[in-house]
Structure 1
C-alpha cells in the first residue's frame, strides 16, 4: 500500500478502508478498556479495604486518599474511550497521509519532552498547523518522541480541526485537535476554508463558522 506524501486536497480512499486501520483502532480501544476495568477493580478492592478499616476502628482517612487517585485514573480511561467516536469519524472521512518530520520533540525542562506536530493543511499544503494531543499525563506521543521517532508520520484529518496520528502501519494511534474544533468557549474557524474542507470538518462534528 502506498500513501500520499505532502499531497494537497482530499484524494484517495478514506483511512477506514486502508488495511490495518480497523484492527489498529480496535486494539487501541481494547487496551484502553482493559486499563479502565483494571483500575476499576483496584478501586473497588481498595474501597472494600477502607470500609473494613472503618468498621474495625482503623485510621481510614489516609487509606482513603488513594481512592481519589485511582478514581482519576479510571476517569482518564473513560475520557480516552470518549475520543474513540471522534477518531472513528475522522478515519471514515479523511485518507491517510505520510508526512516526513511531522512530529518533533520539544524539551520543556530537564525531564519533560513534548511532542509537537507540524502537519500541512490538505487544501493549502504550503501552510502547516500544529494540533495538540489530548490526554493530560497520558499523552502517548510524548513518550514516543522521547524514545526517538524517525519514521514518516501517518495522519488522517485536517490539522485545522482534528486528526488521528499514527506510526506507519498504522500503529500507536492517537487523537490530536485544535481547541477551536470542539470547545464552545472558543470562536470557530472562519477564514481560508474551502467548501470541501468545510464539509468534511462538519462530517466529523467539528465547529466551522458560516
Structure 2
C-alpha cells in the first residue's frame, strides 16, 4: 500500500477505504472497552471486599479509599468513547498521509515525556501545526514517543482542526485535535483556510469561522 508524502492538498482515497483502517479502528474500540470493563470488574470486586470488611468490623474506611482511584481508572477512558465517532468521520473524509519526523518526544511536566506532533498545514505546507492528544495519563503517543518512534507517522485529517494519527499499518490509532476545533469556549479558526479545507472541516463537525 502506497501513501502520498505530498503534504499539500487532500488528494487520494479516504482513509476509511484503505485496507486495514476499519480493522484498526475496531481494535482501538475493543481495547478501550476491554480496559473499561476490566477496571469495572476490579472496582466491583474491591467493593465486595469493603462491604465484607464493614460487616467484619475491620478498617472499611481505609479499604474504601482505593475505590475512588479504581473508579477514576474505570471512568477516565470512557470519554474516549465519544472520540470514536469523530475518528470515524475523519477517516471517511480525509486520506492517509505520511509525515517523516511527524512526532517528537519532549520533556514535559513532573519529569514525564510528552509527544509533540509536527504536521504540515495543508494550505501552507512549509508551516507546521501541533494538535494535541488529550487523555492525561492515558495518552498513548507519549509512551510511543518515549520508546523512540522513528518510523514515518501516518495521519488523516487537517492538523489545524483534528486528525487521526497512527503507526504505519495503520496501528496504534489515536485522536489529536486543536482546542479551537470543538471547544465552544475558544474562537474558531478564521484565516488561511481554503474553501476545500473549510468544506472538509465542516464535514467532520469542526468549528470554522466565516
* TM-score bucket of the superposed structures, by smaller chain: over 0.9
Q: TM-score, normalised by structure 1?
A: 0.96
CA–CA distance in structure 2, aligned partners of residues 95 and 129 of structure 1: 18
Q: Which moved more, 1:53-62 or 1:143-152?
A: 53-62
What SS does structure 2 have at the residue aligned with 1:116? strand
1:115, 1:141 within 8 Å by CA — same for their partners in 2? yes
- Name the residue aligned to 1:158: 158
Q: Is the 8 A contact 1:6 1:120 kept in 2?
A: no
Correspondences of 1:1-210 after superposition (within 5 Å): 1-108=1-108, 111-210=111-210
User: 1:108 & 1:41 partners in 2: Cα distance?
Assistant: 33
Structure 1 runs of 4+ off > 4 angstroms? Answer: none
Instruction: Determine the C-alpha separation between the residues in 2 that align with 1:40 and 1:126.
Output: 47
- The Cα of 1:110 is off from its aligned counterpart by 8.0
- Provide the secondary structure at the position in 2 that maps to 1:133: coil
Once the two structures are TM-superposed, the CA of residue 168 in structure 1 deviates from its matched residue by 0.5
Q: 1:132 aligns to what SS in structure 2?
A: coil
Give, in whole Å, the separation in 2 of the partners of 1:170 and 1:44: 35
The gaps in structure 2 that reach 5 residues or longer are none
Which 10-residue stretch deviates more, 11-20 or 194-203? 194-203
Contact residue 15 and residue 95 of structure 1 kept, 8 A: yes
Mapped to 1, the partners of 2:110 and 2:136 lie a distance apart of: 19
User: Secondary structure at the residue paired with 2:207?
Assistant: coil
Give the drift of 1:38: 0.4
Choose 43-52 or 171-180, whichever is displaced more: 43-52
1: CA distance, partners of 2:184 / 2:206: 11
Matched length = 210
Deviation at 1:7, TM superposition (A): 2.9
Q: Which runs of 5+ in 1 are unaligned?
A: none
Question: Hey, what's the Cα distance between the residues in 1 that align with 2:129 and 2:135?
Answer: 19
Task: Give the CA deviation at 1:109.
Answer: 6.1
Coordinate RMSD, CA, aligned: 1.2
Q: Distance in 2 between matches of 1:85 and 1:29?
A: 11
Counterparts of 1:71 and 1:78, CA distance in 2:
11
Q: What is the rounded CA distance, in whole Å, between the counterparts of 2:74 and 2:108 in structure 1? A: 27
Cα drift, residue 138 of structure 1: 0.8
